[in-house]
Homo-oligomer: A and B are copies of this chain.
């Protein structure tokens, strides 16, 4: 069996007399009682293979009844059509099997609203737009794994159910079973869905040196925005003996390799999304992979923003400001015109575990900002001085007992490490031009929304 993608990519590979079997779902069906043209899609690409049915061996009444969405298996010979829109078509010799769809199949040939499609997450990937997005999502995930496999990183599955809530910030989901006796994990034990794999990641970077997680994380935030999900996937590498500079290079290299390989593999899908979203997608992505990352100190970013403060909603630009999306986008799009890593943020709005700089007020953190989306990655060097870290935990009124195992890592050979977090759906949005995060994940979960 050949995929339609491979047939369309290498039409010359197929000898006119080779008999090929294809399987898939009908995108469109037109013709008359003597000849039928069926566009077939098999999910390997958004492009279709045109099937041509002609001759007395076919039941044209039956063929006429096959609707978009119907499954069909056929074999036939491939025929190069260099002068037509498609490079190749199949002259069908035999229908192996078929199964039609009922009349209420909700996917229509004409364009449907993304909002409407969100009601049918079990079917919406059978439209061209969601198909293109989900093909790219799958490849991005696989390219992330390939990147880390090639670099000999250890793949860690951080626990999902945990008593640790990471940064101590953000709402967590609670986990319980139906029993009315003792709680499943024991009395007085917190059992929540993890908001990050990082703390456990650090424990494995001690011993394995280069590790990454890639798994689901959860926030019980009741925000109904285009950028929030209750359930999302995170990629979190952690590397022992890496400092801030090293981890920024890793983030930059990983993004460029993964995006470059994905563009290369899915030119058709990205061109299609470029046209649909009208967002200069391909140009933007190529610019990103070709432009060296600039590293900008937070104080420099503030002084640049201060010069044009009147254009922002929040005009109070001074040291201590937690950059909002408007500031981030202006920095990367207007001032530096390319990807930047802002470093050395004030410690006040950053997580407790980040390495404190010698100036006593900033931490060795970075945010990687890209045109069109703002923050894509956040990370830091970790504070490995046990006493400094304990002092910080207590300053912030975080319960030290809960975190003692994590703090102890500093006493057990934790010399230096750095890591970052990449929200996978943010990456999918960036590479597909998707505006609403609910269209970047197969079955989105948000407050009030748990379809299927």
Contacts and interface: CB of A to CB of B under 8 A. Distances in A.
Interface of A: 3, 23-25, 41-44, 69-71, 73, 97-102, 104-105, 121-123, 125-126, 131, 134-135, 138, 141-142, 145-146, 149, 152, 154-164, 171-179, 182, 184-186, 189-191, 193, 199-200, 203-204, 206-210, 215-216, 218, 220, 222, 230-231, 233, 240-241, 384, 405-406, 408-409, 411-416, 441-443, 445, 447-450, 452
A279 to B, nearest CB: 24
A405 B124 CA distance: 13
Contact of A442 (B70, B204, B209, B409): B204
A408 B107 CA distance: 13
11 contacts: A71-B240, A99-B384, A101-B412, A138-B155, A142-B149, A157-B442, A160-B231, A161-B450, A174-B175, A185-B449, A191-B450
Nearest to A176: B174
Given A160-B160, A441-B157, A177 B178 contact: no
A450 B186 contact: yes
Given A42-B209, A149-B142, A71 B175 contact: no
A138 B154 contact: yes
B203 A123 contact: yes
Given A142-B145, A175-B174, A222-B179, A450 B163 contact: yes
Given A99-B414, A175-B173, A215-B216, A43 B209 contact: yes
Nearest to A203: B122
A414 B189 contact: no
A159 to B, nearest CB: 4
A135 B163 contact: no
A442 B159 contact: yes
Given A138-B154, A200-B442, A450-B185, A161 B102 contact: no
A412 B138 contact: no
Contact of A452 (B23, B100, B200, B447): B200
Contacts of A204: 125, 134, 442
Contacts of A23: 209, 240-241
B184 A101 contact: no
Contacts of A186: 448-450
Contacts of A413: 25, 69-71, 99-101, 105
